A = this chain, B = another copy of it.
Amino acid sequence: MRRAHLRFLDVREASVALMLVAVAVYLSFASDYFLAPRNLLNVGRQASVVGMVALGQALVIIARGIDLSVGSVIGLSAVAGAIVARETGIDGLSLPVAAIVGLACGLFNGLLYTKLRINPFIATLGTLSIARGIALLLTGGLPVPLAGPAEFLGAGRLGGIPVSLIIMLVLAAVFVVIAGSTRFGREVFAIGDNPKASRLAGIPLDWVRLRVFAISGMLAGFGGIILAGNLASADPNLGLGYELDVIAAVILGGTSLSGGRGSIPGVILGAVLMALLNNAFVLLGISAYWQVVTKGVVIILAVGLDSIRRDKSADD
């Protein structure tokens, strides 16, 4: 019994889960509307794109990389999908085009890293700028209207449940399997843990890394078209600054920036916590500038909560 109990508290995502529960409990007393299914589903929808993109980012970070370009890839993919749909008149094309453009951006990042050995922080910072620039050039700065399946994914509901939420949950389930039970997933952890040892063990480092970045790019592309679909409009500035939210969700969820450790459910909890905060501000009508302060405090608490009981010298 004691072991099982300890185990629960020891899991990496315990801290953010605790914080999530704390905020939720508080909200359910403070606001009559919080527990309404409709509101909960809204929170889920609001978390869905960040959550989706964070899944890919989590793999990247577990493999000791970082992908700063996701925000811009969201914008570029959405714009490209919408333009192709508009030009061809086939709305259905927007989805595959966005995913492919995202994939291409991810591959570009991956190649910069694996072939040119450019550190991922710089490589993806470069792509962040390039992808945004191309999105602006493609559109001349004007948003492109978007409809069809993308709008269904972004704004539609199935039995009252937002489609984008369903997609995120399905993807999360898939990623739990990928991370825990596939050769690729285990190799991602191995690489993040000790790249040298992994190479000696015969893991094709570059090939794994390339795929990790490709996946992150593709999810950003997919997330982008869903986000644009929600608004029925693909804005070249879509996703601006998303990278920080996405990385924060990953780290809040217990993934270590130094690689080799991470939790997929934690990532989703992290994304939900961030959405919940924004929801709380509106539901409770917190005054403007206090929103900003509160956000910071909650982020710190979400990770700090459990550190009080942790052994001090543990992680030196």
Chain A interfacial positions (CB closer than 8 Å to B): 68, 112, 116-119, 121-123, 125-134, 136-137, 141, 195-196, 199, 205, 241, 244, 247-248, 251-252, 256-258, 288-297, 299-300, 302-304, 307-308, 310, 312-316
Contacts and interface: CB of A to CB of B under 8 A. Distances in A.
Contacts of A292: 129-130, 132-133, 136
B303 A137 contact: no
A252 B248 CA distance: 23
Between A121, A126, A128, A132, the greatest number of chain B beta carbons within 10 A of the residue's beta carbon is seen for A126
Given A141-B289, A289-B136, A116 B304 contact: yes
A146 B141 CA distance: 36
A205 B315 CA distance: 12
Nearest to A302: B122
Given A129-B295, A130-B293, 7 more contacts: A68-B244, A118-B307, A129-B293, A129-B296, A133-B291, A137-B290, A141-B289
Contacts of A257: 119, 121
B136 A288 contact: yes
A289 B119 contact: no
A122 B205 CA distance: 28
Nearest to A248: B125
Given A296-B126, A307-B116, A251 B121 contact: yes
B316 A195 contact: yes
A9 to B, nearest CB: 15
A299 B122 contact: yes
Contacts of A314: 117
Contacts of A141: 288-289
A299 B129 contact: yes
A35 B169 CA distance: 57
Most chain-B CB neighbours within 10 Å: which of A244, A290, A292, A296? A296
Contacts of A196: 316
A161 to B, nearest CB: 31
A309 to B, nearest CB: 10
A303 B118 contact: yes
Given A136-B289, A257-B119, A289-B136, A130 B304 contact: no
A129 B245 CA distance: 12
Contact of A304 (B68, B118, B134, B293): B118
